[in-house]
């Protein structure tokens, strides 16, 4: 039976708007409880509801009655507490009120489990909100009306429900924020599914420090499941232990104690012993920045490190070279493994040696490359890195070079700020190590290709790189030096050491062998300040 009119004055109690007129002409007052069939005198309802304090409204309909809901183990007393009625044809009537406690609508659950609304839904607040005064100690927030009834029955504490399920939960709570915020604690007990968990997170963020998130166990979907399985005691224990909301990232010592008790360990080594000693190796979640002038040897350093990771550490590596094709990259890695310059024609190697080297590299199945040449956006690179990790379990990423990721951006500096922050977050999220090369700006004195010293400020996007990188390294070499040994020797300088700070400013030499392409440490040359 539908309403013909609502918010009419009641001649019996004098209320200005509690009377509803049904489409058969009968009336019912939601204040005094009087019912009048068409043309008949008023008569009180046969049942008397017992409400929580602060509710005087009686909700009823001519074809409705109050009774328990055995299928969900809900008692008649619980149904009465919320003025929930049932009809003879199996409909369940959930009354909704506005902010001042006036009845405005029924949400009706059909026998076929479908829902419809009768009345003015727009002004309706949370289900049950009218039953409880503002400023209480605790209230439980559920995803459905039956769940609110179940929680109330199991705990005896105020319990309310959002109106339209998980999808509308945040919107409903925003509208009721003042009322919810008046309680000392809000326990969020939404459904134990993806939508419910997501809604829990969003609502908890809205409510803030007062929010506590209920955790379901034993595959219970919702509060009704607990009640139907006669798990009232367990529910109360879980309710008391509901986890206080903390924004993501906030932890206590208790939260990290297991990790904290693990002693610090060295990371995986570099291909250069001196660098391993200075940095205590490479650790997952960290970024390593390399900067050098054109043709100074930064890519050669990368390639030797890649070969070391493959050969000595048995690792899979992901390589993203934007200024070198994948064939040359593979040739150079093969060359480092075999100490031969396979990328240079007419050097000291045979066709048979070359083919055998290709076969060995293929058999290793450790080198994964992205085939692309030229500038590329960070979003695409990020997708590739994620794929490397998730598809091939690759923890070591080599990117040459960072600057190409912002080449098409109008504001390069701002773009690099965002890229670096996102790259640092990605490394932590995936537990990977990202090595990357950055181009350098022109120095004030000697060019970097003529041995000019590399400083942090020379890195393109230097502030962002310095902020997010764990280590920064500078490579210097005077390609025009008259001494052939020094002409082939690169100074490797530690510019930033976030881990201990002790390595900052330390340098060592790397001498390039033109016959086999291998870089070796040249400690004897370190005394020369120009190296």
- Per-residue pLDDT tens over the stretch 190-217: 999 999 999 999 999 999 999 999 999 9
Per DSSP bridges, beta strands 433-438 and 471-476 are unpaired
Report which of 144, 83, 520, 484 is spatially closest to residue 300, judged by C-alpha positions. Answer: 520
Higher pLDDT, 139 or 293: 139
What's the Cα-to-Cα distance from 282 to each of 146, 275, 287, 304, 456, rounded to whole Å?
55, 10, 9, 16, 20
Question: Within a domain: residue 9?
Answer: no
Q: Do 238 and 137 fall into the same domain?
A: yes
Q: Do 415 and 497 fall into the same domain?
A: yes
Type and span of the H or E element at 172: helix 169-175
Q: Do 325 and 464 fall into the same domain?
A: yes
Question: Within a domain: residue 314?
Answer: yes
Give the per-residue pLDDT at 323: 86
Give the per-residue pLDDT at 457: 87
Estimate the share of the chain in helix, then strand, then coil, as percent rounded to the nearest 5: 35, 20, 45
CA dihedral in degrees (345, 350, 352, 354; nearest 10)?
-40
Question: Within a domain: residue 381?
Answer: yes
Q: Which domain holds residue 217?
A: 65-89+119-244
Higher pLDDT, 262 or 36: 262
Question: Within a domain: residue 25?
Answer: no
Confidence class of residue 273 from pLDDT cuts 50, 70 and 90? very high
Question: Within a domain: residue 271?
Answer: no
Q: What percent of the chain has pLDDT over 90?
A: 58
| Mean pLDDT of the chain, nearest integer | 85
φ/ψ region of 159 (left if φ > 0, alpha if ψ in -120 to 50, else beta) reads beta
Question: How many separate domains does the chain show?
Answer: 2
The label of the residue with tokens 């390593």 reads 288
We report the CATH number of the domain holding residue 407 as 3.40.50.300
φ/ψ region of 60 (left if φ > 0, alpha if ψ in -120 to 50, else beta) reads beta
DSSP label at 458?
A: G
Question: Within a domain: residue 508?
Answer: yes
Q: How many CA atoms lie within 13 A of 453 on its CB side?
A: 12
Q: For the ranges 322-326, 446-450, 461-465, 507-511, which has the lowest average pLDDT? A: 446-450
Give the per-residue pLDDT at 23: 61
Question: Within a domain: residue 109?
Answer: no
Higher pLDDT, 468 or 485: 468
Q: Do 71 and 165 fall into the same domain?
A: yes
We report the CATH number of the domain holding residue 83 as 3.40.1360.10
pLDDT of 528 above 50: no
Burial of 522 (0-12, 13-18, 19+ CB in 10 A): buried
Report which of 228, 229, 221 is spatially closest to residue 196, judged by C-alpha positions. Answer: 221
């Amino acid at each position: 039976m539908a309403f013909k009119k609502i918010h009419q004055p009641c001649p019996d109690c004098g209320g200005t708007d509690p009377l509803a007129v049904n489409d058969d002409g009968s009336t019912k007052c939601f204040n005094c409880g009087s019912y009048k069939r068409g043309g008949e005198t008023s008569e009180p309802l046969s049942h008397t509801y017992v409400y929580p304090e602060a509710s005087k409204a009686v909700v009823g309909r001519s074809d409705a009655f109050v009774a328990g809901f055995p299928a969900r183990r809900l008692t008649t007393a619980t149904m009465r507490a919320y003025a929930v009625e049932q009809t003879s044809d199996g409909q369940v009537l959930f009354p909704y009120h506005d902010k001042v406690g006036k009845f405005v609508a029924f949400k009706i659950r059909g026998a076929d489990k479908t829902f419809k609304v009768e009345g003015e839904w727009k002004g309706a607040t949370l289900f049950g909100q009218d039953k409880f005064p503002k400023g209480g100690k605790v209230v439980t927030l559920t995803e459905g009306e039956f769940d609110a009834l179940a929680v109330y029955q199991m705990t005896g504490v105020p319990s309310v429900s959002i109106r339209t399920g998980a999808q509308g939960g945040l919107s409903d709570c925003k509208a009721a924020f003042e009322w919810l915020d008046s309680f000392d604690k809000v326990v969020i007990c939404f459904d134990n599914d993806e939508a419910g968990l997501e809604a829990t997170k969003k609502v908890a963020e809205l409510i803030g420090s007062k929010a506590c998130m209920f955790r379901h166990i034993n595959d219970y979907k919702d509060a009704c499941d607990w009640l139907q399985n006669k798990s009232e005691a367990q529910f109360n224990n879980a309710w008391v232990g509901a986890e206080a909301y903390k924004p993501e990232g906030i932890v206590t010592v208790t939260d990290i104690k297991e990790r904290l008790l693990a002693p610090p360990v060295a990371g995986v080594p570099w291909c250069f012993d001196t660098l391993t000693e200075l940095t205590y190796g490479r650790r997952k979640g960290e970024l390593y920045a390399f900067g050098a002038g054109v043709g100074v040897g930064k890519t050669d350093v990368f390639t030797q490190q890649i070969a070391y990771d493959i050969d000595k550490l048995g690792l899979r590596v992901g390589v993203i070279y934007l200024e070198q094709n994948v064939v040359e990259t593979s040739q150079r890695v093969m060359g480092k493994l075999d100490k031969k310059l396979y990328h240079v024609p007419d050097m000291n190697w045979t066709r048979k040696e070359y083919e055998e080297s290709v076969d060995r590299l293929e058999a290793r199945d450790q080198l994964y490359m992205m085939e692309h040449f030229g500038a590329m956006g960070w979003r695409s690179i990020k997708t590739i890195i994620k794929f490397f990790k998730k598809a091939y379990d690759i923890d070591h990423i080599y990117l040459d070079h960072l600057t190409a990721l912002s080449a098409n951006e109008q504001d390069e500096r701002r773009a690099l700020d965002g890229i670096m922050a996102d790259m640092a977050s990605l490394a932590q999220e995936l537990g990977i190590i990202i090595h990357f090369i950055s181009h350098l700006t022109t120095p004030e004195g000697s060019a970097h290709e003529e041995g000019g010293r590399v400083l942090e400020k020379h890195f393109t996007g230097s502030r962002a790189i310095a902020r997010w990188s764990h280590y920064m390294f500078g490579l210097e070499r005077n390609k025009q030096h008259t001494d052939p040994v020094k002409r082939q020797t690169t100074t490797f300088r530690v510019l930033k050491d976030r881990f201990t700070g002790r390595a900052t400013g330390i340098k060592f030499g790397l001498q390039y062998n033109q016959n086999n392409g291998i870089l070796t440490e040249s400690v004897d040359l370190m005394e020369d300040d120009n190296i």
